[in-house]
């Protein structure tokens, strides 16, 4: 029988991700805290937190991982058409608090949100330290879509996105991939595969292969701090 490791309040190492449960798929550990040090340790090892308000902190590393390679990304025809229209203004790290609040808001057909107040505070702190980033999408001066995530070396670990206008989050995602490629990042970790991510060009990797590629990518020196403010319009 396999047991989930209980983390204490000290910054102790996570178990190897190959020890994650088959059911529920990917559950690796529980407990600990959401300190910046622990979160960065988690992301560097292919682990992310995901839990609800009345649960302990749960740490996951699913057996199949959705990823995108920035240097291989080719937007589909429908998205390319939207990108060429340049209907939206994109900005890097311009409004992180507002983006995470929008991602936290309940959505249609969802009873609640997995972004607790504790998680929001933790990612705001990571943003303050320069490890969490957002990409905002504006139309007529109004925030209408965006995303946020965490960078570790040459990896961007996507956390959540939102869209108030059709295609806004897809455009933000395409700009994220372009920015990552331009500064030399080699891997976008999209976490759990789903149809939406597949439509954006993600592929699915078994855990061991993801682990190998992650190990190489996190050790790359990439200047995420070089990305700031308004982004140039999309050109193909």
The pLDDT tens digits of the residues spanning 148-189 come to 999 999 999 999 999 999 999 999 999 999 999 999 999 999
Q: Is the pLDDT of residue 54 over 90?
A: no
pLDDT of 111 over the 70 cut: no
**pLDDT score, position 128:** 97
pLDDT at 113: 66
What is the residue-averaged pLDDT of the chain?
A: 92
- Answer yes or no: is pLDDT of 110 > 90: no
Given a cut of 80, is residue 48 above it in pLDDT?
yes
When pLDDT is cut at 50, 70 and 90, the band that residue 234 belongs to is confident
Residue-range domains of the chain with CATH: 5-62 (3.30.70.3550), 66-230 (3.40.630.70)
Q: What is the SS3 string spanning 70-109?
A: HHHCCCCHHHHHHHHHCCCEEEECCCHHHHHHHHHCCCCC
Condensed to tens digits (0 to 9), the pLDDT of residues 62-106 reads: 999 999 999 999 888 889 999 999 999 999 999 999 999 999 987
Among 47, 92, 82, residue whose Cα is nearest residue 200: 82
Write out pLDDT tens, residues 197-229: 888 889 999 999 999 999 999 999 999 999 988
pLDDT of residue 198: 86
8 A C-beta contact, residue 175 and residue 167: no
pTM equals 0.93
């Amino acid at each position: 029988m396999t047991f989930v490791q209980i983390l204490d309040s000290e910054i102790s190492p996570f178990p190897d991700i190959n020890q994650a449960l088959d059911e529920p798929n990917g559950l690796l550990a529980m407990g600990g805290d959401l300190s910046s040090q622990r979160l960065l340790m988690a992301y560097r090892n292919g682990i992310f937190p995901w839990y609800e308000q009345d649960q302990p902190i749960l740490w996951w590393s699913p057996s199949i991982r959705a990823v995108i390679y920035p240097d291989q990304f080719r937007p589909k025809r429908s998205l390319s058409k939207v990108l060429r229209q340049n209907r939206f203004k994109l900005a890097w790290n311009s409004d992180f608090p507002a983006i995470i609040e929008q991602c936290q808001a309940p959505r249609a057909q969802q009873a609640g949100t997995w972004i607790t107040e504790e998680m929001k505070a933790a990612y705001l702190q990571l943003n303050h330290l320069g490890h969490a980033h957002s990409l905002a999408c504006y139309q007529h001066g109004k925030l209408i879509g965006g995303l946020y995530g965490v960078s570790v070396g040459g990896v961007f670990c996507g956390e959540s996105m939102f869209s108030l206008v059709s295609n806004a989050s897809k455009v933000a995602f395409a700009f994220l991939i372009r920015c990552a490629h331009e500064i030399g990042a080699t891997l976008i970790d999209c976490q759990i595969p789903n149809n939406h991510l597949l439509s954006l060009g993600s592929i699915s990797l078994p855990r061991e292969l993801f682990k190998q590629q992650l190990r190489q990518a996190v050790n790359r020196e990439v200047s995420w701090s070089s990305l700031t403010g308004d982004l140039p319009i999309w050109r193909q």
